């Protein structure tokens, strides 16, 4: 039977048991950020369309082709946020956070929306964990941001990824490079649309995936060879800090990001087990964003966005399991009505003592209830029948090794906590 409704195309649902992986990944990534002093920020899901057009850049695919833009009932053009950095900068300016202690360090997690062609690892509603550190242009901060992402992945047990790094230069060297690249590109035999792109945003052409364009641009000039002394020094410092932090990286001078605001340090985490959608996270520094969206100061920022969905897929590709924390620890199996009364109350007491508990509901009988206990992934089953009730005991079964023991019902909370090493 086909259902009348389905979620919109390219929009995933997250439900048990797989949703436990999703939560574990999101929590590990936000924990890594909190450990480095990034405070939680929760921002609107939709914003003024112009914020993204000006912040992210009109000529990017994200703005020109992928935004969910609509007029609200008051006729204002609003857009479901395609990314998080522009919204964070808007909030920093609006609330004057830049007049407080700098850098402003914030971390966010939630859904973002891009009208892309759905495929494995590419969704129209995607989930990111991101951080932004705004107001201090210090290469040590660039290294910290990168190290926080790396630490998040590593804590999850992910290993088959690499960090690609480059510098996109600053105001003093970018225009010179842009000119050189433009001259190179306009000297090639390109189709009219690509020539137009070369005129508006030449860097975008280096990101073209068509083999003939890739080949034609193989010898294009590279930003890294045009860095000013100060941008070059900034980049050298970032690398030195990463070396000392023990974060491995590869230089990729052809790295092009899909958003226009990047300057100086720019990076991407790539996982080779994911096929075409291999970018599991990325970010960089942005010097001009604040001014572009109307800030009075011109404060630089740096941040990353990590794709939670792709990180979950990358862990699955490496056969790493992370979902431990979402599972129940104890599963109650009542045999008969009186036993159920007792177990319902006991489940409440165990939960008060920090143990996660589920019960076999409905009258399933011993076999069905034990099957449910096994499926739950719990460590322990508590089996209570008429006989145990009569003599004030309960059966406790270790579901890993099958060992079953009878213990006193009034000492069960302490017994369960001890078995689960909860002290």
**CB nearer ligand HAM, residue 37 or residue 365:** 37
Is 280 a binding residue for ligand HAM by CB under 6 A? The answer is yes
To ligand HAM, the closest distance from the beta carbon of 17 in angstroms equals 21
| Nearest distance from C-beta of residue 381 to ligand HAM, angstroms | 39
Binding mask 237-276 for ligand HAM (x = CB under 6 A): ---------------------xx-----------------
d(CA 87, CA 85): 5
Q: Minimum Å distance from CB 324 to ligand HAM?
A: 24
Give the integer Cα–Cα distance in Å for 179 and 91.
34
Q: Are strands 357-359 and 380-384 parallel, antiparallel or unpaired?
A: unpaired
Out of 47, 309, 342, 388, point to the residue binding ligand HAM (CB under 6 A).
309
Shorter beta-carbon distance to ligand HAM: residue 79 or 85: 85
Q: Which is nearer to ligand HAM, 123 or 331 (CB)?
A: 123
Picking from 177, 285, 287, the residue whose alpha carbon sits closest to that of residue 228 is 177
307 binding ligand HAM? (CB under 6 A): yes
Q: Quote the CA–CA distance of 181 and 18 in Å, as a whole number.
A: 46
Any contact of residue 282 with ligand HAM (CB under 6 A)? Answer: yes
Residue 376 as a binder of ligand HAM (CB under 6 A): the answer is: no
| 402 Rama class: left (phi>0) / alpha (psi -120 to 50) / beta | left
Centre a 10 Å sphere on the Cβ of residue 270 and count the other Cβ atoms it contains: 20
| Contact range with ligand HAM by CB under 6 A, out of 92-100, 149-157, 280-288, 323-331 | 280-288
Cβ 52 vs Cβ 66: under 8 Å:
no
Pick 22 or 304: Cβ nearer ligand HAM:
304
For the beta sheet containing 125-134, the strands, ordered from the edge strand earlier in sequence to the opposite edge, are: 39-40, 104-113, 125-134, 301-307, 279-286, 263-271, 161-167, 250-251
Q: For the segment 68-87, give every residue that binds ligand HAM (CB under 6 A).
A: 83-85
Site residues for ligand HAM, 108-147, by CB under 6 A, read 114, 116, 121-123, 126, 128, 130, 132
Burial class (CB in 10 A: 0-12, 13-18, 19+), 376: buried
**Tokens 């090639």 correspond to what residue?**
188
To the nearest whole angstrom, how small is the minimum distance from the Cβ of residue 65 to ligand HAM?
Answer: 12
In the bound state, the residue with its beta carbon closest to ligand HAM is 307
Structure token pair of residue 422: 């909860």
Q: Which of 169, 305, 332, 334 binds ligand HAM (CB under 6 A)?
A: 305
Planar angle of CA 151, 162, 214, nearest 5 degrees: 145
Give the residue with the Cβ less far from ligand HAM, 283 or 326: 283
Q: Which two tokens stand for residue 23?
A: 């939560």
Shortest separation between residue 236's beta carbon and ligand HAM, angstroms: 21
The Cα 106–Cα 252 span in angstroms is 28
Nearer to ligand HAM, 263 or 393 (CB): 263
What end-to-end distance do the CA atoms of the chain give, in Å?
A: 50
| Footprint on residues 158-217 left by ligand HAM (CB under 6 A) | none
Q: Which residues bind ligand HAM (CB under 6 A)?
A: 83-85, 114, 116, 121-123, 126, 128, 130, 132, 258-259, 279-284, 303-305, 307, 309-310
């Amino acid at each position: 039977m086909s259902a009348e409704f389905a979620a919109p195309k390219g929009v995933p649902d997250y439900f048990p048991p797989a949703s436990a992986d999703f939560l574990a990944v999101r929590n590990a990534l936000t924990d890594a950020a909190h450990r480095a002093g990034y405070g939680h920020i929760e921002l609107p899901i939709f914003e003024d369309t112009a914020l993204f057009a000006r912040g992210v850049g009109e000529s990017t695919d994200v703005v020109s082709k992928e935004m969910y833009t609509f007029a609200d009932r008051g006729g204002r053009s609003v857009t479901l946020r395609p990314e998080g950095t522009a919204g964070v900068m808007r909030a920093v300016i609006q609330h004057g956070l830049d007049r407080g202690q700098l850098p402003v360090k914030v971390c966010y997690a939630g859904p973002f929306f891009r009208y892309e062609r759905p495929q494995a690892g590419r969704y129209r509603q995607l989930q990111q964990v991101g951080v932004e550190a705004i107001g201090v242009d210090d290469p040590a901060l660039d290294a910290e941001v990168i190290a926080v992402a790396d630490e998040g992945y590593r804590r999850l047990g992910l290993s088959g990824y690499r960090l690609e790094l480059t510098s996109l230069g600053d105001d003093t060297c970018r225009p010179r490079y842009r000119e050189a690249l433009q001259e190179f590109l306009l000297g090639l035999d390109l189709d009219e649309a690509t020539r137009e792109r070369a005129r508006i945003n030449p860097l975008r052409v280096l990101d073209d995936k068509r083999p003939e364009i890739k080949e034609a641009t193989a010898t294009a000039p590279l930003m890294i060879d045009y860095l000013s002394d100060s941008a070059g020094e900034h980049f050298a410092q970032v690398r030195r800090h990463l070396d000392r932090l023990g974060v491995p990286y590869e230089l990729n001078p052809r790295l092009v990001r899909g958003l226009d605001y990047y300057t100086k340090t720019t990076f991407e985490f790539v996982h080779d087990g994911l096929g075409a959608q291999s970018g599991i996270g990325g970010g960089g520094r942005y010097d001009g964003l604040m001014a572009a969206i109307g800030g009075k100061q011109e404060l630089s920022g740096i941040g990353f966005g990590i794709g939670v969905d792709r990180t979950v897929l990358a862990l699955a590709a490496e056969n790493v399991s992370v979902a431990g924390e979402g599972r129940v620890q104890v599963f109650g199996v009542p045999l008969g009505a009186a036993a159920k009364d007792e177990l319902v109350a006991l489940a409440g007491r165990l939960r008060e003592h920090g143990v996660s508990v589920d019960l076999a509901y409905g009258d399933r009988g011993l076999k069905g209830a034990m099957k449910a206990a096994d499926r739950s992934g719990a460590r322990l089953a508590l089996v209570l029948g008429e006989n145990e009730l009569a003599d004030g005991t309960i059966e406790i079964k270790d579901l890993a090794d099958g060992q079953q023991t009878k213990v006193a019902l009034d000492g069960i909370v302490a017994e369960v906590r001890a078995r689960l090493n909860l002290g």
